[in-house]
Each structure stands twice: as structure tokens, then as C-alpha cells.
Amino acid sequence: MLVDVRRLRAFISVADHRNFTRAAEQLGIAQQPLSQQIARLERDLGVRLFDRDTRNVSLTEAGVEVYRDALDLIARVEAAQRNAQRAARGEIGRIVVGAGNYGIDHVVPTILRAFHARYPGVEIELYEHHTADQLDALRSGEIDIAFAIGPEADPQFAIEPMHEEGFVLILPAHHPYTGSGPANIADFRDERFLATPRSLSPGLDELKERIFRDAGFVPVVAQYATQISTMLALVSAGVGILLTPAALRSLSRPDIVHIPVATPHRITLQMVTRHARHAPALANLLEVAREIRASEGWLPAARNGA
């Protein structure tokens, strides 16, 4: 049996006022339609809700119980209405964000901090992985948005630039290099380098290859690793040096140094979503990300509105 919420509201008003006339005035309806609603509710429930005489209206025992339940039900209905409206505005919900070291150590926290301040009711989960894994997770729906380096074009994806920066070399603190200003990568042709497997971030790997190609040599890879913390430890130990996006300067430690690299090549962090219609909360996150991109000047002026 379905009970009309309007009848419950009418019943609560009569119970509160103990008077049909005053209840009808509060509800903005005539007394006769109000009486009909109460009569219909009593038929639906199969009980008498009020004892009536010429002057007074009082709840029956059944009416007392229905009144308690009706208050709870109306509160739940109103909460459901509020939550539905908040969800439609993107004020509540859940977003799973994918990012790698570049994004997590520089760009993504700034975006998420601003987003959380504006939409504290939205739950955020952060998925940390390399570009290839992020895109696989995005395709499968495991995540809602990725902040990735050099994602390959895919008809499923909408891709836009978020942050652009150059490169640095990470050397052990005891390295004999004494140059000042941006380093010429050709001066390090005899060094052994650290690298990540190409399959994990092919766009970044291709960009590094261009830098080495411009310098006229193919680097000797001392060791492959998948985690930046592991690579920094290997740099510190003198196993190899690392060419990496300059944004990772934030990963500082006393046993390594960061040297800017003289190269025209720039690394771009891209914001990637599926082309499917975005949920309101995700649409709000995209709006905040674009605002932060513009205010922080993360892209050259010509691209900042891309």
C-alpha cells in the first residue's frame, strides 16, 4: 500500500493544531478537501486516527503511533529531496581521481584542495599509478578522471592540458658536476641513467628520447624502476642519474641535487576524462581545475584557456 505524502502532511497539521480549520489555513486549502484527505488516509490505513466532537479533535491510540511514524517518514522524504537536489548540483557524490608522481606532487593537491573547500560533501578517492594504468582504469570506469603525462589520443577520451614545465637532472649530492645555470644534457653522455619501463608512461619516455637525440647520444640505462622513491634512493646511492619533469623538484632530500636542463622540450600534464556525459560532481571538478589552471598560470598565456 502506498500512502500519499500529502495526506500525511495534512494529518500532521491536524494533529499539531487539534483543529481542522486552523490546519486548513496553515496548508492553504479549504476545510472540506482537508477532511476528505484525512478520511482517505484513515481508509487507506484501516484505522481511525482522530476522535472528533463539535469542539475538539484528538488523536486516537492508533493516531498517536501513526503521528510518530509520519514525522519520521516526512523527515526522510525531505532529506531525500534535499540530497537529490544537492546531487543534481554536484554538491555530493564520489569522484575517483587518477594521477602519477608529477600530478600528485605538484598539481593535483592544489586542485583537490580548492575543490574540497567549495564542495566538502563530495567524497574524493585518489588512485596513484603510471599513465598507462590510469588510462586503463579510466576506460574501465574504475576512475573518473586522470591527470596523465602524454596520453595517446583515444576517441573515448577528452584531453586538455593542465600544466607545462621543463626538465631537471637529479644527481647525487656528491656528484662532481660544478656547472651553473641550466645544464647541457650532452655533458652527461658518459653517465648511467635510471629509467622507468616505457610501457608505463610512453609519452614521457618519447619526450626524453627526443632530448637525448638532440644531444647526440643514447643513454646507458643502469637500472629500471617503477617508483620515484626507489629512483631517488638509487640516485643517492650513485647507481645512476635521473632525467625527470621539473615539477618533481618538490621531492627534495639532502643527498640529491636538482639541475635544470637546457632544452626546448616541455612536459605537459593532461587532464583526461571520458567523452560520456559527466556527473554533476565531476563537471564541478573540471570547472575548478580550469579556474586553478588559469589563476596559477600553469600554461603559457596562449594555451591557458585551452
Q: What is the pLDDT of residues 273-303, one digit of tens each?
A: 999 889 999 999 999 999 999 999 999 865 5
Euclidean distance between CA atoms 212 and 187, whole angstroms: 11
Nearest to 24 by CA among 40, 13, 8, 12: 13
Radius of gyration of the chain (CA): 32
pLDDT number for residue 4 = 85
What single string gives the DSSP state of each residue in 201-220?
A: -HHHHHHHHHHHHHHT--PE
On the 0-12 / 13-18 / 19+ scale of CB atoms within 10 A, 195 is: middle
SS3 string, 100-147, reads CHHHHHHHHHHHHHHHHHHCCCEEEEEEECCHHHHHHHHHHCCCCEEE
Please answer whether residues 188 and 240 qualify as being in contact, where contact means their C-beta atoms are separated by less than 8 angstroms: no
| Closest-CA residue to 255 (of 227, 235, 228, 225) | 235
Cα distance between residue 196 and residue 181, in whole Å: 27
Neighbours of 96 (CB within 10 A): 18
- Determine the 3-state secondary structure of 200 from DSSP: helix
Q: What is the DSSP letter of 248?
A: G
For residues 89 and 32, what is the distance between their CA atoms, to the nearest angstrom? 39
**Which is higher by pLDDT, 250 or 67?**
67
Q: How far is 68 from 6, CA to CA, in rounded Å? A: 16
In the chain, the percentage of residues whose pLDDT exceeds 70 is 97
The span from the CA of 221 to the CA of 2, in Å, is 71
**Residue 124: what are its φ and ψ, rounded to 5°?**
-115, 130
Sheet holding 256-260, edge to edge: 242-245, 167-172, 256-260
Mean pLDDT, residues 53-80 taken together: 92
Burial (CB count within 10 angstroms: exposed 0-12, middle 13-18, buried 19+), residue 30 = exposed
Spatial CA neighbour of 264 closest among 196, 213, 188: 213
**pTM for the model:** 0.80
For residue range 114-140, what is the model confidence (pLDDT) as tens digits?
999 999 999 999 999 999 999 999 999
Task: Indicate if the pLDDT at residue 112 is higher than 60.
Answer: yes
Q: How confident is the model at residue 306 (pLDDT cuts 50, 70, 90)?
A: very low
Summarised one tens digit per residue, pLDDT across range 10-51 is 999 999 999 999 999 999 999 999 999 999 999 999 999 999
For each of the domains in the chain, give its residue range(s) and CATH number, in order of start. 5-88 (1.10.10.10), 93-163+268-296 (3.40.190.10), 167-260 (3.40.190.10)
- DSSP class of residue 185 equals G
